[in-house]
């Protein structure tokens, strides 16, 4: 009886871990990006300042859009607390040219949902039908889901070109976070 219970417990634990890591690998580790194509605006989601802002502007210079929308959740934080971030955001937010318009905004709420809601507002105001969303590779599935809820147009997903760690602890934490955030997005919707 005890042996049977122990075997059942081991099967449940191993099955749960296999599902956690197997599905996490499929959803968050693998690349879910789309082919580059012309869109009405390139949207750079907030997060790590890992080159995403410059990447979005570079794609605009290459002709994929004439507008770059950059989420800047730090707009409300005094510059002295942000050190290099403030200078970076000042530079990219003031980099509009005759060919490329750069719009920086503070999302409300300061989440992917808030970013998608602001993009929908801008799209309605400017008659946009498509956007390209730039974020981390492991954020692609969740960002696509949220933009699908909040944005009426087509969404092209493109991760920031960078290397990602193979650290097991990092991915365990990231999978858990993304599962939780995806569940929260399903519950909250886009109201």
- 85 vs 71, 111, 112, 122, 175, CA distance in Å? 13, 18, 19, 25, 27
Read off the CATH number of the domain in which 108 is found: 3.40.50
Count of domains for the chain = 1
- Widest CA span in the chain: 77
pLDDT of 59-97, one tens digit each? 999 999 999 999 987 654 555 555 666 677 888 888 888
**pLDDT more than 70, % of the chain:** 92
Residue with tokens 């003031």, as numbered in its chain: 94
Q: Are 183 and 71 in contact (CB under 8 A)?
A: no
Confidence of residue 176 (pLDDT cuts 50, 70, 90): very high
Q: Is the peptide bond before 93 cis (omega within 30 degrees of 0)?
A: no
Show the tokens assigned to 164: 């990602």
pLDDT given at position 87: 74
The verdict on residue 37 lying in a domain is: yes
| Best CA proximity match to 42, nearest among 14, 71, 80, 72 | 71
Q: Which domain holds residue 88?
A: 31-180
Q: Is the pLDDT of residue 102 over 90?
A: yes
pTM: 0.87
The verdict on residue 150 lying in a domain is: yes
């Amino acid at each position: 009886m005890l042996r049977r219970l122990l075997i059942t417990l081991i099967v449940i634990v191993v099955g749960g871990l296999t599902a956690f890591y197997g599905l996490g690998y499929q959803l968050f580790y693998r690349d879910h990006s789309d082919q580059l194509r012309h869109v009405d605006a390139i949207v750079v989601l907030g997060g790590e300042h890992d080159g995403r802002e410059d990447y979005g502007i570079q794609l605009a210079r290459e002709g994929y859009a004439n507008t770059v929308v950059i989420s800047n959740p730090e707009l409300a934080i005094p510059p002295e607390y942000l050190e290099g971030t403030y200078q970076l955001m000042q530079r990219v937010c003031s980099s509009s040219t005759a060919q490329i318009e750069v719009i920086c905004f503070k999302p409300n709420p300061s989440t992917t949902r808030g970013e998608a809601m602001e993009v929908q507002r801008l799209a309605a105001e400017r008659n946009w039908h498509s956007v390209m969303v730039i974020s981390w590779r492991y954020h692609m599935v969740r960002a696509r889901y949220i933009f699908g809820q909040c944005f009426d147009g087509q969404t092209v997903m493109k991760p920031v070109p960078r290397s990602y760690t193979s650290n097991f602890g990092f991915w365990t934490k990231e999978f858990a976070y993304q599962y939780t955030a995806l569940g929260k997005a399903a519950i909250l919707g886009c109201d």
